[in-house]
Amino acid sequence: MVNKKITRGVLQEFIRDLATCDKPHQVKFYNIIGYPTETEDDWWEFVEDIKAVDAKLPKTTKQTSILLHSTPFRPMPATPAACWPASYVNYRGQIAKVLGKGLKGNIFYQGNSIWAVESMGTESLPTVILSMICHRGTEHDAENIQKIACSKKFWSASSLVKEATLEKYFDVKTLFGEFTPETLPTRYLKTYCAIERMWELDAETISKRHSKEDASPQHLQA
């Protein structure tokens, strides 16, 4: 979806090379979680790839360890994904909860020569909300941004209190929603790519279509 040139075959080959080194290793995999259209079936593919490699390896007590660190997806400004929606989910601990049923703690795979655990460093939902405010907030949010930034009570509060506070003072539904090139708050940002030109062409097409609709007899009558 983001044009990464990493196939499942490439991933399995890397895991195989990792697990067959002279000594067991621990390697951290950096993963982005929560893309639009993503489902739990996509998560299971990672386990399937580990299992496909591990099934051909001998059983050993000195296992290779995979530490999976997941970063919640944010539609970054000035990128082709800038208009995409983001997932309003607290992903911390969810990988192990879904994939590691029957296993202890944050382990989500344990086999012959490989075991895998979920990192507990996944950012909480309030942290992601704050990022989205930075990426998609407008001048209308300025006063509340200042209040939050200067509030010692907010920064010392629990994750649940922070989440409720941010939901109260900011329109999280809009912040995490899908935008168009015309409504994107950061549309003014220019890049070294041709993204903004692509958006301008889209905007021209939309504008022409609206002009035709406005001039049509049916529209005028309505």
Distance CA 46, CA 38 (A): 13
Report the range out of 59-63, 128-132, 203-207 with the highest average pLDDT.
Answer: 128-132
Is there a contact between 91 and 36 (Cβ–Cβ < 8 Å)?
no
pLDDT value for 217: 47
Distance of CA 138 to the CA centre of its chain: 22
Q: Which residues contact 49 (CB under 8 A, 6 or more apart)?
A: 8, 11, 12, 15
pLDDT value for 187: 82
Buried b (16+ CB within 10 A) or exposed e, 101-137: eeeeebbbbebbbbbbbbbeebbbbbbbbbbbbebbb
Average pLDDT over residues 111-135: 94
Q: Is 26 or 158 the better-scoring residue by pLDDT?
A: 158
The yes-or-no verdict on residue 167 having pLDDT over 60 is yes
What is the average pLDDT value for the chain, to the nearest integer?
A: 87
For residue 45, what are its two tokens? 């593919």
pLDDT value for 144: 96
DSSP codes of every residue in 27-63: EEEEEEE--TT--HHHHHHHHHHHHHHHTTS---SS-
Distance CA 140, CA 59 (A): 60
pLDDT value for 201: 56
Is there a contact between 130 and 162 (Cβ–Cβ < 8 Å)?
no
pLDDT bucket at 211, cuts 50 / 70 / 90: low
Is there a contact between 109 and 115 (Cβ–Cβ < 8 Å)?
yes
